Structure 1
Amino acid sequence: MSFGLPPSALAWRAKVRRFVDEELIPHEVEAEMSGGELAPALLQRHEALAIGLGLARMDAPRRHGGLELPLIDQVAAAEQIGRVTNALGWCYPEAQSWMFEACDAGQIERFVLPMMRGERHFCYAITEEFAGSDVSEIATTATPDGDDVLISGEKWHVTSENLADVILVQARIGGDGGQALFFVEKGAPGIAVKRSPAYSHTYRHHHPILAFDRVRVPQANLIGPRDAGMTFAYAWFRRERLMIAARCCGAMERLVEETAAFARARRVGGEALIDKQLIAAMLADSLVDLQAARLITYEAAAAHDAGLDLKTLHARCSIAKLFASEAAGRVADRCVQVFGGRGYMRENVAERFWRELRVDRIWEGASEIQRLIIANALAKRGVDGTIGGT
């Protein structure tokens, strides 16, 4: 690759690709046709293999048993996870570096380290009906009550709630104070699934609407300072936006590979479909989208490893997510078209990616929010201060 990934990133890329191609991809159609579900023993195997590879501790500090990998290595690994549909790549928990900065020793021991070992599983309850991409509008409250807080509110799109035992809840302290994050045990009294909508994709990870009715949570479960919830949310958003971009690159790579192979084999009027100029043009455009998205994403990861200013990194993650997610949508749409009627069948990889990739332009900040972040950075810091000079 022209970017010149370091040997460590290439090694991670190779071993995660083997895992994805040999262990996960063969089960895509089975998962698609069974509501995302696979045999429990197989799901346990996937998690154990992923944890054994080190995927759960890539971002964790070495002092806590993590690998503390450069972000470019993590992006190379995440890109390969993006090659598989049906969220089969979501087979491992992930301990993120911000957790070790925000949590105290007791919280790390009770929540974070068990998650890293696959003993606990988290879900994030941040979004609300009227607070989506702009999480500053969150209305859920955490009212102090002695040594506890009482959390009340409603959270939407709580991804993986059905598979989690710990909920990270973002709430406003005292109703009008700063925002804070809390560890909340899923079984706490007062938590109810209000509704679990069906979504376009076929995942075993559900995204229900949760109601919190004066849920009693120890103040010891407060993550970091009382008003630091947005700080941690932004750290999580930066990382996840970059990882979404990486996974979109993996999806595009798989789509281009599968579609080109089909177009080489399919004969139309005695010629290979790939030799038809309009088909060739769609494949060429898709390869350009993939290469551009990769370079933007890798460069953003390298900027993190170089220790650039956080505000600059925030904009670069937005650039990567915006471009890669929209490029992936274009590629999936073209590939469905090249496959023709086959591309509209759920057993076809292009059809599944066509549905699944659509959400990447919405969650962790919609494309419109990414454009505002990028434009704001440009207005404040200029071109060089946003994307760097030549």
Structure 2
Amino acid sequence: MTIPLTSRAREIQARVRAFVDAELIPWEVHAEMHEGLVPEHVWTRMKEKAREAGLDNMDMPAAMGGRGYTMLEQAVAQEQTGRVTNALGWCANNPLRWMLEACSPEQIDRWIKPLMTGQRHECYAITEAGAGSDVDAIQATARREGEHYILNGEKWHVTSANLADYMFFQAKIEGGPNDGSHALFFVDHGTPGVEIVRTPAYTHNYRAHHPIYRFADVRVPASHRIGAEGDGMGFTYAWFRHERLMIAARCCGSAERLIEEATAFARSRIVFGQPLAEQQAVQFMLADSVTELFAARLMTYETARAIDAGADVKTAHAQCSMAKLYASEMAGRVADRAVQIFGGRGYMRENVAERFFRELRVDRIWEGASEIQRIIIANGLLKRGAESLVG
């Protein structure tokens, strides 16, 4: 069965898939063996080809110079980038539409437009040692002093900070009428008081690192605050909804690639005089994998369609959690089966199944762990009923 898509979505799908297959997948093993890096001229070409494939500024309106993709079209494109390991698919700038709603015209000119053109790069400083999925538990503070704020705190897992030149810093307001509420701030790298603590080694090999940063009496103008005091969590939730759905899409792409590779290997590998694919135990693993992929893709696409149709934001929040929960756990199961089908080869870093087995594990953690997604879904069910979530 072919899932119905518009002709434009099909064209985006085919264009991005061709780019991933031709420009990114051939460099996976090299990146794996070189700490996530490819030669600089290759990385430059990847970024140029990504723009040609339409992977940049997907969520930005055409009036701003963006692609103006629907949420479904973005999911279709992100699904294809999920087919490559070592985060090579992270080669295009993709600021989100909420930034236009949240930022002042001056902020858009200073930080967002250069992000769209690739002149600037951002990262998110939200997570802390004691506050991961529970964002409200952050201890970072922002204290108003005249026309400035004084920022303090320590942020963990600041993804892509080594490639960025500014951060979105989330803190709780300290003092004043909005004491304890959340706010977001632009903080440029190099601002006095911003100090890198260390860069931990992670399971995957990505060009983008996840350092720990300390903010000690960092002084920023009030004009660096995004929106009003108290708006910070709303903006973060908007980012979470989008990224959770895109994680689901990328997990579908990863699962599809794994199924393709494992199936091809099972057909060619001869065991006890016949192809491995003739073994019923292997057939069952492949059948379970493709069935779960079908379900995850349907859930992801339908959630995106509903958002495009103007779904209630609270319903969409729960459905994005449902898609991320199911797709990320599905992809993990598919990767585990693929390693098993490849056998000893599946334990080699040069094998796609081994890389995805490591890399997909974090999708059940970042942007809200699976357990947090279940809490969000259950809250939505209890408040609005099953019909609001599944129709």
TM over 0.5: yes
Partners of 2:264 and 2:90 in 1: how far apart?
Answer: 27
Partners of 2:180 and 2:137 in 1: how far apart?
Answer: 12
SS at match of 1:220: helix
Partners of 2:301 and 2:243 in 1: how far apart?
Answer: 14
The residue identity in structure 2 corresponding to 1:5 is L
Asked if structure 1 preserves the Cα contact closer than 8 Å seen for 2:16 and 2:54, the reply is: no
Asked if structure 2 preserves the Cα contact closer than 8 Å seen for 1:142 and 1:171, the reply is: yes
1:332-347 correspondence to structure 2 within 5 Å: 332-347=335-350
1:1-390 correspondence to structure 2 within 5 Å: 1-174=1-174, 176-388=179-391
The residue identity in structure 1 corresponding to 2:7 is P
1:36-59 Cα offsets, whole Å, 9 max, x none, are: 111111111111221233322111
Asked if structure 2 preserves the Cα contact closer than 8 Å seen for 1:71 and 1:304, the reply is: yes
SS at match of 1:263: helix
Partners of 1:217 and 1:23 in 2: how far apart?
Answer: 41
1:346-369 Cα offsets, whole Å, 9 max, x none, are: 000000000000000000000000
Deviation (angstroms), 1:68:
1.6
SS at match of 2:385: helix
1:306-343 Cα offsets, whole Å, 9 max, x none, are: 10100000011000000000000000000000000000
Deviation (angstroms), 1:146:
2.0
Q: After the TM superposition, which parts of structure 1 deviate over 6 Å for at least 4 consecutive aligned residues?
A: none
Asked if structure 2 preserves the Cα contact closer than 8 Å seen for 1:125 and 1:155, the reply is: yes
1:169-212 Cα offsets, whole Å, 9 max, x none, are: 00112264311111110111111111211000011111011100
The residue identity in structure 2 corresponding to 1:274 is A
Structure 2: state its 5+ residue gaps.
none
SS at match of 2:143: strand
Deviation (angstroms), 1:289:
1.2
Asked if structure 1 preserves the Cα contact closer than 8 Å seen for 2:12 and 2:54, the reply is: no
The residue identity in structure 2 corresponding to 1:23 is E
Please give the root-mean-square deviation of Cα atoms over the aligned residues, in Å. 0.9
194-203 vs 175-184, which moves further: 175-184
1:81-107 Cα offsets, whole Å, 9 max, x none, are: 000000000111112110111011111
Partners of 2:93 and 2:390 in 1: how far apart?
Answer: 32
Partners of 2:249 and 2:129 in 1: how far apart?
Answer: 28
SS at match of 2:368: coil
The residue identity in structure 1 corresponding to 2:289 is S
Deviation (angstroms), 1:63:
2.1
Asked if structure 1 preserves the Cα contact closer than 8 Å seen for 2:56 and 2:67, the reply is: no
1:260-291 Cα offsets, whole Å, 9 max, x none, are: 00000000111000000000100111101111
Partners of 1:34 and 1:114 in 2: how far apart?
Answer: 30
Partners of 1:183 and 1:13 in 2: how far apart?
Answer: 34
Partners of 1:296 and 1:2 in 2: how far apart?
Answer: 14
Structure 1: state its 5+ residue gaps.
none
1:203-225 Cα offsets, whole Å, 9 max, x none, are: 11110111000111111111111
140-149 vs 359-368, which moves further: 140-149
SS at match of 2:157: coil
Deviation (angstroms), 1:3:
2.8
Partners of 2:7 and 2:54 in 1: how far apart?
Answer: 17
Deviation (angstroms), 1:8:
1.3
Asked if structure 1 preserves the Cα contact closer than 8 Å seen for 2:322 and 2:373, the reply is: yes
Deviation (angstroms), 1:385:
1.1
